[in-house]
Structure 1
Amino acid sequence: MNKSFQNRPFIGLSHRGNSKEFIENSLEAFKSVAKKGYKYIETDLRLTLDGHVVTFHDEDLKRLFDLDVKIKNLTLKEVNILFNKHKCELFTFEETLNYFPEIYFNIDLKIKEVVMKTINIVEKTKSFNRVCFASFKSLHTKMVLDKHPEAITSMGLTDVALFKFLKINRKNSNILQIPIKWNGIKILTKKLISDAKKRNLLIHVWTINNPNEMEELIDMGIDGIVTDEPDILMNVIKNRNLLES
């Protein structure tokens, strides 16, 4: 088990904060789940026009604000005008780390251009022990490890496939963050869990919102669940006496 990122048998990771009541990835969404008892938040990083690394998932603002404009073409101030209309605020990643010194962040490096800036932010805030660098693209986490071999990373799609089918763990990562299925292929199996435990690897499963499914996965022996339903998962955690302390 990676002591520096996960020092308990099971963790709940809030996916983009409390998006049920607030705009996802906003300061308010993060504050809400922190108050509910979450110590781990999954978020996404992109760049604004004025070069800020912000906690934002989509390439554009279509889904959240019905605006067909890319976030890279707006300044942080311009994006926050939209957030403020919903009584929310979008923080930079540096501001987020400073605002939540006790929270662990699992960050999805959406684009290559955000990688080095993010490394610099984590260096500046001395947060390597509470940040897990993640990306579908293994190249992005490789860039992190090339500069900081001690950094905590999860496996990208290529690395997950290599481990699942060939039992190859080719980089300094001990965390698999996976869906149950991907493009019709079952990723999570009892054998994968067994193989991971033999290699002392952690398995976090995303994105699980059904309480029965959460219970089944915990019984299977996984190490963490990413959810859009913070209240539901927290109830499961409390009922099983797995509450994060």
Structure 2
Amino acid sequence: MTHPWFAAAATPRVLAHRGFVSAASAADGVVENSFAAVAAAHAAGAVYVESDCHLTADGEVVLFHDADLHRVTGDPRTIASVRAGELEHIMAERGGLITLRQALESFPTVRFNLDVKADAAAEPAGRIIAAHADRVLLTSFSDARRRRAIAAAHHEGGEPATSGGRSTIAAVIAATALHAPGAARNAWAEVDALQIPERQGRLRLLTPRLLDAAHARGVEVHVWTVDDPADMARLLEAGVDGIVTDRTDLALELVARRGR
């Protein structure tokens, strides 16, 4: 049975990477993973927003990509060392802090693709997600962390969709390349999607064989992070199910044109 996360829109899916920050918004100081960025993605017509979860010093799950504030705000401290109130003050002129709970409650029609970045955030995030699990695809580069978050959601009665972490992706790619489909049977069965870059260095991860193997098992393939319209068009023509992009506007326009 298809998880409700996927039923919100037809493929190909556009996943707004850390929300959407236009050039004009960036000039006004708005940053990724802010309340304004999520709101802008929603306003642009994005059904799916990709974001990240960290835990503050006082236990608040917030949408933030990096483990520290340096790249986004110039502050060298880690998210884990800052209380939510202080982080809210820091983000006030950058589009506003958005917590995981606020995101899920303030944007009830948005489907979230959430990457749990910190071990400490896994269980708190899973508990918050549980009540909104029909609108969440939960993932992490760490499969162990991902499984802890999913277990916490299950404990609270929620069942989010999920995509594989590094070890799951490695297993299915290796099995596909070696023509050994049975070798990754458990890995395939555990996930609803594979979310991968087209290439990792010189290694091409996305191949026609991998796409066919995923689709044969009812697993979608989403590619990140794709900002050039020519690359978007090429990947969609190849059969990928979703594009994770910073250029939500261009991707939505491209998908709309393809559907006419």
TM-score range, shorter chain: over 0.9
Contact preservation (8 Å) 1:54, 1:91? yes
Q: Secondary structure at the residue paired with 1:170?
A: helix
The answer to whether the 8 A contact 1:181-1:188 is kept is yes
The 3 A distance-change label for structure 1 pair 67 and 144 is closer
SS of structure 2 residue aligned to 1:67 = coil
Aligned-partner residue type, residue 149 of structure 2: V
> TM-score scaled to structure 1, two decimals?
0.92
> For the residues of structure 2 that align with 1:150 and 1:105, how far apart are their CA atoms?
14
Q: 2:109 aligns with which of 92, 102, 105?
A: 102
Aligned-partner SS, 2:244: strand
Give secondary structure in 2 for the equivalent of 1:68: coil
How much does 1:232 deviate? 1.2
For structure 1, the 5+ residue unaligned runs are none
Residue 144 of structure 1 and its aligned partner are, at CA, apart by: 3.5
1:170 paired with 2:186, answer: yes
2:6 corresponding residue in structure 1: 6
Which structure: greater helix fraction?
Answer: 2
> In 1, are the aligned partners of 2:57 and 2:84 still within 8 Å (CA)?
yes
> Would you identify which runs of 4 or more consecutive aligned residues in structure 1 move more than 3 Å?
144-147
Equivalent residues in 2 for 1:37-116 (5 A)?
37-86=45-94, 88-116=95-123
- Say which SS state the counterpart of residue 218 (structure 2) adopts: coil
Q: How many residues align?
A: 239
Cα RMSD, aligned residues only: 1.6
Which residues of 2 match residues 131-150 of structure 1 at below 5 A? 131-147=136-152, 148=154, 150=159
The answer on 1:18 being equivalent to 2:20 is: yes
Instruction: Say which SS state the counterpart of residue 134 (structure 2) adopts.
Output: helix
Amino acid at match of 1:6: F
SS at match of 2:6: coil
Kept in 1, the 8 Å contact 2:18–2:49? The answer is: yes
Quick one: distance in 2 between partners of 1:181 and 1:169? Answer: 23
After superposition, give the CA deviation of every residue in 1:63-82 in whole Å (9 maximum; x if it has no partner).
11112111111111111222
- Counterpart for residue 158 of structure 1: 167
Instruction: Tell me, yes or no, if the aligned pair for 1:144 and 1:151 is still in contact at 8 Å.
Output: no
- CA–CA separation in structure 1 for the residues paired with 2:127 and 2:3: 23
TM-score by length of 2: 0.87
Quote the offset at 1:145 in angstroms. 4.1
2:126 paired residue number: 119
Q: Which amino acid aligns with 1:89?
A: G
Task: Measure the CA separation in 2 of the matches of 1:47 and 1:132.
Answer: 19
| Residues in 1 aligned to 2:159 and 2:76: alpha-carbon distance in whole angstroms | 40
Q: Which residue of 2 aligns with 1:34?
A: 42
Cα distance per residue 1:78-129 (max 9 Å; x no partner): 112221133x211210111000000000000001111110111122xx2111
Give the gaps of 5 or more residues in structure 2: 176-180
Percent sequence identity is: 30
CA distance in 1, matches of 2:240, 2:150: 25
Tell me, in whole angstroms, the C-alpha distance in 2 between the residues paired with 1:25 and 1:228: 11
Q: Contact 1:159/1:169 (CA < 8 Å) preserved in 2?
A: no
